[in-house]
Structure 1
Amino acid sequence: MPTLPLYRDDFYLSTAEAYVSAVHDDGAIELDQTCFYAASGGQPGDTGFLERADGSRIMLGETRHGADKSIILHHPLELFHSDMLKNPTADQSAPVVGEKLVLHVDWPRRYRLMRMHTACHLLSVVCPFPITGAAVGEEESRVDFDMSETIDKDAVTAELMRLVNENHPISVTWITDAELAANPGIVKSKNVRPPMGLGRVSLVCIGENSAVDSQPCGGTHVSETQEVGAIHIAKIEKKGKENRRFRIRFGVPE
């Protein structure tokens, strides 16, 4: 059965209740709904834990999609009981179909990824070139652009921080898959397409009336640019004649 992705409508939802809909042979758990973001578009999947009725925890590694984007798989790291240290033989059985669980996202990690992902959007505003690749990380992200121009990283940092400090609102609107297909030019990435096949696609809009930016994206983002905090371009690398890799990090330049 398809998993209802609660995070698509609320990026700040860090806990929710759900029922187990399937347990795979490798231990992966499907739920009827989830607030765990599944890895996609360069953003890692969420980690955290699933809490059972007896208080025990199923610790999760990265959350991923299944055979298609409608399925979300929660991959356990281990099953942890609060009394495990006292009783190493405590039952660690897998959950069963129909079991009710409480979902807990590792919020500090998710929030850093939200801030970083938003920073990548701001970078695409400062550097309006086609994107050839991207990866969002907790400490550092990278965005690759199809460009040959020489550009000063300190100047880019200054423009990024200008957008951050102006504290533009960030919102999400929705368009249909058909509307996106009819307007392919709104996609900045050359190699990664926004998630389609679920009937609707989210547009991440920055600024009043999308004055700063608007682009399709299925990732999670903060609600205003000021939440991104201090960021800077640590390095610009030449990756071919017409490709430049920008590395974004939190904090101020050293």
Structure 2
Amino acid sequence: MTEELFREDATLLACDAVVTAQEEGGVTLDRTVSYPLGGGQAGDTGWLVAGGQRWRVTDTRKSKLTPGAILHCVEGEPPAAGTAVRVEIDAARRQAHRRFHTATHLLCALLPYPVDGCSITETYARLDFHTDEPFDKDAIQAGLARLVAEAHPVRHRWISEEELDANPGLVRSMSVQPPRGLGRVRVLEIEGVDLQPCGGTHVSNTAEIGAVIVTKIEKKSAKTRRVVLGFAQPSEA
């Protein structure tokens, strides 16, 4: 299994690791700071560095061959098993993911409906809500700005699977369920605002989200309303 350093500290941008295996298109490592695609959040990109060589990491994903291992997709011939490498992630991409992902939790607090779709990328984030209620774009925008400005602390903690079973309302997503079998579940708490299971990367205070805007609200189906977020340009902040 790959030790997931990003679960405890999303600010880590580099670490030392050892290649455990080559897989098609990349390598698995014994430990990493790179977040793998999952839970709606895109995987990290960056570099592997060893012996004066640099391999561009084009994506990070969960291994299809080894349960619990994380695959780092690289350009060119990957380093061999046993190679000691330095993992470096794209800091700007990671920060965008952290800001957008935390902003989607604020959306969940403002819109109390089940979530049936999610996408968090470097340039936008979207949530699909299971409801036929109309959304007020200006009201959502004002609510986001208020929660960001209030500077709520953001932290994660772990609860047992039994605690989750006793509080099923914590799970907001209809499409992505918390992983089972480990005996514990990671939850993300925005103090006084939101609490729900989440394995993604986040900022440590809502003030760090900065200026985000609601770029679009769509009616995707009779029972689905989509909200898309973007980063505000300087003139919009």
TM-score for both structures, normalised by structure 1: 0.88
Match runs of 1:131-210 below 5 Å: 131-207=115-191
Task: Name which of 57, 73, 76 aligns with 2:74.
Answer: 76
Deviations 1:93-141 (A, max 9, x none): 5322221111101111011011000010100111111101110121211
Please tell me the residue identity of whatever aligns with 1:48: G
Task: Name which of 60, 65, 80 aligns with 1:63.
Answer: 60
Match runs of 1:1-254 below 5 Å: 2-24=1-23, 26-52=24-50, 54-67=51-64, 70-78=68-76, 94-207=78-191, 211-251=192-232
Contact (CA 8 Å) 1:70, 1:198: kept in 2 or not?
Answer: no
2-structure distance, mates of 1:184, 1:48? 37
Contact (CA 8 Å) 1:195, 1:218: kept in 2 or not?
Answer: no
1-structure distance, mates of 2:6, 2:187? 14
Contact (CA 8 Å) 1:22, 1:97: kept in 2 or not?
Answer: yes
Greater CA radius of gyration, 1 or 2? 1
Q: How many aligned positions are there?
A: 234
Match of 1:82 in 2: none
| Structure with the bigger percentage of strand | 2
2-structure distance, mates of 1:30, 1:137? 23
Please tell me the residue identity of whatever aligns with 2:32: T
1-structure distance, mates of 2:19, 2:197? 31
Contact (CA 8 Å) 2:124, 2:231: kept in 1 or not?
Answer: yes
Segment drifting more, 180-189 vs 94-103: 180-189
Segment drifting more, 196-205 vs 132-141: 196-205
Q: CA RMSD in A?
A: 1.6
Please tell me the residue identity of whatever aligns with 1:201: V
| Structure 2, unaligned runs of 5 or more | none
2-structure distance, mates of 1:219, 1:128? 20
1-structure distance, mates of 2:104, 2:90? 21
Report sequence identity in percent: 44
Q: Which runs of 4+ in 1 moved over 6 A?
A: none
**Cα gap change, 1:181/1:206 in structure 2, threshold over 3 Å: closer, same or farther?**
same
1-structure distance, mates of 2:206, 2:80? 42
TM-fit CA distance, 1:69: 5.6
1-structure distance, mates of 2:53, 2:4? 24
**Cα gap change, 1:181/1:77 in structure 2, threshold over 3 Å: closer, same or farther?**
farther
TM-score for both structures, normalised by structure 2: 0.94
